Structure 1
Amino acid sequence: MKMRTAKFIAELINDGSVVIPGGFGCCGHPDVIIGAISDRFQRESQPTDLTLIFGSGGGDKKGQGLDKLADSRLIKRAIGGFWGFCPSLTKLGLEGKIEAHNWPMGVISHLFRDIATGLDGHLSHIGLNTFVDPRLDGGSLSKSQKSLVELTEVRGKERLFYPSLGVDFALLRGTLADHQGNVSMRGEAALHDAFWQAMAARNAGGKVVIQVERVIDKLVAEEVDIPGNLVDYIVISGEHHFPSYGSATVTEDEPRETLPLAKSLIIERACREFIPEGAFLNFGIGIPAIIGEKLSNLYKAVHTSIESGVINGSPKQGISFGEVNGYSSIIQQADLFSFYNGGGIDIAFLGFAEIDQYGNINASSFGEKVTGAGGFINIAASAKKLVFCGTMSTKGLILESDEKGINIKKEGEILKFVKKVQQITISTNHSEFIGKHISIITERAVFTISEGLIVLEELAKGVSAEDIIKLIPFPIKVSDKIKF
């Protein structure tokens, strides 16, 4: 292990290199190293034609993280699970200025592990019958680009093959290193995929570079998260690593933003879902993360998680998503996705952007806003029960409530129940969803989905079935035992 400056590392990176930028969205991004690469490119117009591979792209939606590299001369190709925190890089992909691919986050986590194992790629059922499937969009952000994903068959079953492109550099972040190159991540929000990313780069013949706050003489063995035999270079940032961009800018004493009534109604109803003792829960970003925080205070005999690898506790929101207060344990992200894929989640609370008449759900692309699938596809395909949470309309929805119930003062400009979704993040009318309990909780009604058929099950006070039906541009079934 050698200690070097970020500028030195940036100058090591050759044109056409395949780079893994570490972290999880707004958590744990190696900003000092990424900033040095950006600075070098501004000075020298080098390196060029890089390929990025990430599970959740680093950023704060305001220019930090991977958006520092958002130049089509610098980046040739990017493969990522979640793109929502790096909008400038996403825009390049949508415009076809870079080759951009959205694969399920769990697939990418497992791809790192498979590269470390020496495999040519990752084989999985995850992504079948979704926009990642080459029979649909093939996972490309721009329809003009060719899919990298291959449809194949193993023992009579359809599978998707996600190829390895090799790894030249893994650029990661830890908290402390010692003089033997061992790294501890004890001050980070989670372990993320750092161990497997380092091993993938090492075994693929690449270089492993880790940004840390400082170097000490020797770490206690039990605190080592990345062993020194995997590490080529240490970059000392010389500054405190906040676990997330959010925790770097928000103090614990800062008052929280008041939630709109629509979101509060959804959260209140979601918290009344039956949750058996000992259940294992997952919460997505947005409204589900707030539900997770509420439920963690209501139920002590359940287990919760977010896909960064954190078990139990209260998940934070916004650009702190990935951080959790009061967690009980942290495991490797890839290992948590193995648990997810095997059916370990009892109930998943997830958001949605659109739902259509075929039971397709879009949670990855909505107009010009493309976040990517993140862990949504892995979780939805594998969880035993799904609870989708979101408003019936968006962009300008205003609600009021009184003793008679809720009153829609202004309907949102965009309805979220549509004839055809813009992108199929999951399709509930396929075999893996048959027999699975699927609910949709909105601010004014609750639905279930069975084999693609949407059924109205509950109405909020002050709302009639006719009010709901007129907002949905396709036939739905109204339950004979509708609740109020």
Structure 2
Amino acid sequence: MPRLVPTLTAAEAAARIPDGATIALSGSGGGVLEPDELIKALAERFAKEGHPRDLTVMHALGIGDGEGSGLARLAREGMLACLIGGHWSWSPELQGMAAAEEFAAYTLPAGAIMHLYREIGAGRPGLVTPIGLGTFADPANGGGRVNAKAKADIVEKIKLDGKDYLRYLPRPIDVSLLRATWADPHGNLSCEREAADIDNYVCALAARNSGGMAFAQVAERRDAPVRPARLARVPGVLLEGVVIAPGQKQTCEHDYDPAVSGEAPPPDAPPSLEVPAGVRGLIARRAARELAPGMSVNFGFGMPDGVPAAAAELGIDLGWTSVEQGWHNAEMLGGRVFGAGRHAQAQVSSPDQFDYYSGGGPDIAFLGMGEMDAAGNVNVSWLGKHVVGPGGFVEITQRARKVVFCGTFEAKGFRAGAGPDGRLAIEAYGEVPKVVEKVRHITFSGERARRDGQQVVYVTERAVFSLQPDGVRLEEVAPGADPRRDVLDRMGFAPALAPGLGL
């Protein structure tokens, strides 16, 4: 008879976590599969007892809603010794503490963190991969460190068959905190009402096979077993206990929407999408022109989310779409719940999705652009004072056959619109340049992209650039923009010029 996994309170689970533990958190931003009741109980115990302290916390995607949930609950002096995060922006509190050197802070590609969990759980010697070469994760560029207190090496460069790879170093996982919809008597977990599966299984595997513990937060416990059995996304043998959280919401913006969990059939007619107004619309329409019929397409967070609507407006085939949270061919949601979608045709775990990305599956990817520079590098992972982290950006951009970066030419105070004829009308220049001589943090390596023969396009509201063997080339200037005054004179470097620009 298989063992019965006990039901615990969140406080009882938190009480079992020792000082100095390494904790892996599953989930994605905006409450998507986030074990927030467990995180809350952990923070409440620390507030009362001062324990557990000096924790190392790992998370691949964002955890929280930017309004105090998720990781923000752990922003307490002495609670963390180290944070290794793939995406930080949903916890401004921890961003500030990292900048103040209150704990050792690292950021790594989200897929690398998830795949490292899998390698830890399988007892292998870390994750060996080309993902991250030439970026901030490369030891030559800091090895993922984002403050001075981060002294330990967590990534090393190695050679195999004469080629460079990164080895993300393994570490025992003492505790994993997970979430699911419900658990059966044996602790098998169903995620049937969740927006995504994310990395539940590999988090639990890493803890179990490190000699640690995995606790799962669920909305309910049922007497019947999970059926069909393949819907048990995490087997109970990996769990130490189940915590019931009856008020658990599907996301921070959905109590429960069967379209978000993929249970409801799609409507007879596809939803009408609205192209963003102003500059975002100009960028989305120009970026959409890079699509070709039948492509496998990935969309990133932020500026690219207008591309599907622009493609529909222009009558361009959107192809086969996916995001790192695991869905395929869904109606993409944005904002805090980016990564969730409605009416997905297929849903896989995030580690499986990252296998597809890091293996080179996407034909084209549309990603945001915080900064770009003369070498074709792009920074989205450390902007301003605080680390942001890359999320799935590195895996996607490093291996997609073609990458289209989307962003405004300037920031902070920049204002512009589109006239009735669609021409750009700049109302005020921005105070912060984004097309610079050298980016602060390399999230995308132009040198590596040139070496690998990757197609790279950079789309802004006033100019389009491409990556060429000898550097960045200005390809187009938007109607309404002056090539010299609005573009070349406001750049941090002199690009090559495409024939026919008349400059």
Structure-2-length-normalised TM-score: 0.90
1:291 paired residue number:
307
1:15 paired residue number:
19
The answer (yes or no) to whether the contact 2:249–2:256 under 8 Å persists in 1 is no
Q: 2 CA distance for matches of 1:257 and 1:276? A: 21
Q: 1 CA distance for matches of 2:283 and 2:365? A: 15
Classify 1:288/1:419 alpha carbon distance in 2 versus 1 (closer, same or farther; 3 Å): same
The answer to whether residue 296 in structure 2 is matched with residue 280 in structure 1 is yes
The answer (yes or no) to whether the contact 1:399–1:408 under 8 Å persists in 2 is yes
2:476 paired residue number:
458
Q: 1 CA distance for matches of 2:21 and 2:309? A: 41
Residue identity opposite 2:7 in structure 1: M
Classify 1:67/1:382 alpha carbon distance in 2 versus 1 (closer, same or farther; 3 Å): same
The answer to whether residue 401 in structure 2 is matched with residue 384 in structure 1 is yes
Alignment of 1:54-69 (within 5 A): 54-69=59-74
Alignment of 1:128-139 (within 5 A): 128-139=133-144
1:167 paired residue number:
173
Correspondent of 1:414 among 422, 432, 436: 432
Correspondent of 1:472 among 491, 494, 503: 491
Classify 1:344/1:95 alpha carbon distance in 2 versus 1 (closer, same or farther; 3 Å): same
Q: CA deviation at 1:464?
A: 2.8
SS at match of 1:60: coil
Classify 1:165/1:4 alpha carbon distance in 2 versus 1 (closer, same or farther; 3 Å): same
Q: 2 CA distance for matches of 1:98 and 1:257? A: 43
The answer (yes or no) to whether the contact 2:275–2:281 under 8 Å persists in 1 is no
Please say which of residues 213-222 and 138-147 is displaced more in the overlay. 138-147
Classify 1:478/1:249 alpha carbon distance in 2 versus 1 (closer, same or farther; 3 Å): farther
Correspondent of 1:245 among 252, 256, 260: 252
Alignment of 1:52-451 (within 5 A): 52-146=57-151, 147-218=153-224, 219-220=226-227, 221-242=229-250, 244-247=251-254, 259-277=276-294, 279-292=295-308, 295=311, 302-403=319-420, 405-430=423-448, 433-451=451-469
Q: CA deviation at 1:38?
A: 0.7
Q: 1 CA distance for matches of 2:95 and 2:48? A: 24
* 5+ residue gaps, structure 2: 260-272
Residue identity opposite 2:326 in structure 1: G
Percent identical: 35
Q: 2 CA distance for matches of 1:234 and 1:178? A: 10
Classify 1:288/1:70 alpha carbon distance in 2 versus 1 (closer, same or farther; 3 Å): same
The answer (yes or no) to whether the contact 2:105–2:145 under 8 Å persists in 1 is yes
Q: 1 CA distance for matches of 2:400 and 2:67? A: 33
Please say which of residues 399-408 and 36-45 is displaced more in the overlay. 399-408
Residue identity opposite 1:228 in structure 2: G
Q: 2 CA distance for matches of 1:257 and 1:294? A: 8
Alignment coverage as a number of residue pairs: 477
RMSD (Å), alpha carbons: 2.2
Residue identity opposite 2:392 in structure 1: G
Structure-1-length-normalised TM-score: 0.94
Q: CA deviation at 1:258?
A: 9.5
How far does the alpha carbon of each residue in 1:296-347 deviate from its partner, in whole angstroms, 9 at most, with x for none? 7966672111111111112111101111112111111111111111110100
Structure with greater strand share of residues: 1
SS at match of 1:82: coil
The answer (yes or no) to whether the contact 1:428–1:452 under 8 Å persists in 2 is no
Correspondent of 2:9 among 2, 5, 15: 5
Q: CA deviation at 1:472?
A: 0.9
The answer (yes or no) to whether the contact 1:168–1:205 under 8 Å persists in 2 is yes
Classify 1:170/1:374 alpha carbon distance in 2 versus 1 (closer, same or farther; 3 Å): same
Q: CA deviation at 1:287?
A: 1.3
How far does the alpha carbon of each residue in 1:39-92 deviate from its partner, in whole angstroms, 9 at most, with x for none? 111111111111111101311112110110112411111111111212212222
Residue identity opposite 2:471 in structure 1: L
SS at match of 2:86: strand
Q: CA deviation at 1:2?
A: 0.4
Classify 1:65/1:375 alpha carbon distance in 2 versus 1 (closer, same or farther; 3 Å): same
1:481 paired residue number:
500
The answer (yes or no) to whether the contact 2:104–2:149 under 8 Å persists in 1 is no
The answer (yes or no) to whether the contact 1:209–1:233 under 8 Å persists in 2 is yes
Q: CA deviation at 1:95?
A: 2.1
The answer (yes or no) to whether the contact 1:175–1:214 under 8 Å persists in 2 is yes
